[in-house]
Structure 1
Amino acid sequence: MENYRKANTIEQPCPCPFPDLPSDTPEVRVKDGSKIRNLMRFALSRMEEETAASADHEGSEVSVGTGDNLCRQIVFTGVGQSVAKAITCVEIMKRRIHGLHQLTKLAYRTLQDVWEPLEPGAGLDSLTVSRNVPSIWVLLSRDSLDKNQPGYQAPGSFDALWIQALKEEAATPRHGQRRKRGGTGTGRAEVGGRGKGPRKHPGRPGDTRKPPGHAGGGQEGMNV
């Protein structure tokens, strides 16, 4: 592939795994270069009325929601490296708006990379490489969802996970204590400073005695 360069990437369409969604359900497609701030501004503007009003005051170009066009459901999607960013947006959304039901679906999506030859006149043909990358679909809904579906998460269930993680972290603080003990370099520095002190201390009286000797005061006393 040293004689080729990647021209573009074609993402094959993937059907939505939530077929019964209303037609006006917004879909937030998270990309690698997407900013979480912009994504959350749009998502909250469609699900939260107060945020929509504040976003309007900020001069956002996104069409904000009002009491008439607020949605009950929203979908987040991410492909490849943007999967982690999509999950981050979902967790922020759940912390901001309480009582959201979550349904997660995982799949693979096909990406086609088109490679063009560096020298068109070299007689090389363009290449198309297909690869399958993981993708995620997350549905957040104010209304209740089917609890029997795989990937369902009830509202507030993530709180128990965070509480358990905090308890485990608080119960095992040994690693942090070892680092604190090992990091007490200030005490060693003080000991080293004390060791350097006696070396400098004899020199200081000698320095103070030398000027009188050089001035002749000490030699006159010895002659007397």
Structure 2
Amino acid sequence: MENYFKGKNVEEEMERHKIPIKDIPENFLWMQVKGGSKMTNLISHAIGILEDKGATAVVWSGAGVAIAKAISCAEIIKRQFSIQHQVTKLTHKSVEEYWEPKVDGLETIVVKRQIPVIHILLSIPEIPDISQLGYQTLQSKKFWEKVPSNNSKQQQSHKTKKPFKHKKVDPQE
């Protein structure tokens, strides 16, 4: 590859009508997360729209390195608004990398890759088709609520243990 330099990248663009989730409400907010997006900007924009009732559902989409950021944003919004209905779909998009020759007589190399993409629908109203692959609900399951434990005796016994005493060791001995 020392005889080539990286040229242009041609990426398949994500389009609103190609989101692979069934039964998305009409007035949904589509948040396209990029690798360089700032989470605070993304979250504050989504919060503003949801609080103003401009949308009842949000779709978070991210590709490649932006997948983790899209998941984090979706989880924050889901917990802040207690959104009960979620559909997650994994797909891919095509990218073509063009490598141009530095030396005459060589041809341009085209490398075709598939990059993973995630789409996460968070919907306040119930989704009509709950049997679709990737659907989950948090109804009656609040994972972040504190559950009282029955281990009060075990917890007390740990507190009453005597601390470990360190012995001074003389290196001369």
TM-score of the two chains, using structure 2 as the length reference: 0.73
Quote how far apart the aligned CAs of 1:158 are. Answer: 6.5
Query: 8 Å contact 2:95–2:115 — kept in the other structure?
Result: yes
> Within the alignment, does 1:87 sit opposite 2:86 as a pair?
no
> Whose radius of gyration is greater, 1 or 2?
1
Higher relative contact order (CA 8 A, sep 6+): 2
- Structure-2 change in CA distance of 1:90 and 1:113 (3 Å): same
- Structure-2 change in CA distance of 1:8 and 1:148 (3 Å): same
> Within the alignment, does 1:122 sit opposite 2:125 as a pair?
no
Query: 8 Å contact 1:99–1:156 — kept in the other structure?
Result: no
Please give the secondary structure, in 2, of the residue aligned with 1:137: strand
* Equivalent residue letter for 1:45: G
2:88 corresponding residue in structure 1: 104
Match of 1:160 among 128, 143, 154: 143
Structure 1 unpaired stretches of 5+: 49-65, 168-183, 199-224
Please give the secondary structure, in 2, of the residue aligned with 1:43: helix
Quote how far apart the aligned CAs of 1:9 are. Answer: 2.2
Query: 8 Å contact 1:103–1:139 — kept in the other structure?
Result: yes
Deviations 1:141-174 (A, max 9, x none): 111012111111113576338879xx9xxxxxxx
- Structure-2 change in CA distance of 1:22 and 1:160 (3 Å): closer
Structure 2 unpaired stretches of 5+: 150-163
Query: 8 Å contact 1:31–1:82 — kept in the other structure?
Result: yes
Q: Supply the distance in 1 between the matched residues of 2:99 and 2:26 (Cα, whole angstroms).
A: 37
TM-score of the two chains, using structure 1 as the length reference: 0.58
Please give the secondary structure, in 1, of the residue aligned with 2:143: helix
Query: 8 Å contact 1:12–1:110 — kept in the other structure?
Result: yes
Deviations 1:68-94 (A, max 9, x none): xx1111111111222111111111111
The alignment of Structure 1 onto Structure 2 pairs a total of residues equal to: 154
1:132 corresponding residue in structure 2: 114
Please give the secondary structure, in 1, of the residue aligned with 2:142: helix
Greater fraction of residues in strand: 2
- Structure-2 change in CA distance of 1:22 and 1:144 (3 Å): closer
* Equivalent residue letter for 2:135: Y
- Structure-2 change in CA distance of 1:43 and 1:5 (3 Å): farther
- Structure-2 change in CA distance of 1:163 and 1:153 (3 Å): farther
* Equivalent residue letter for 2:19: C
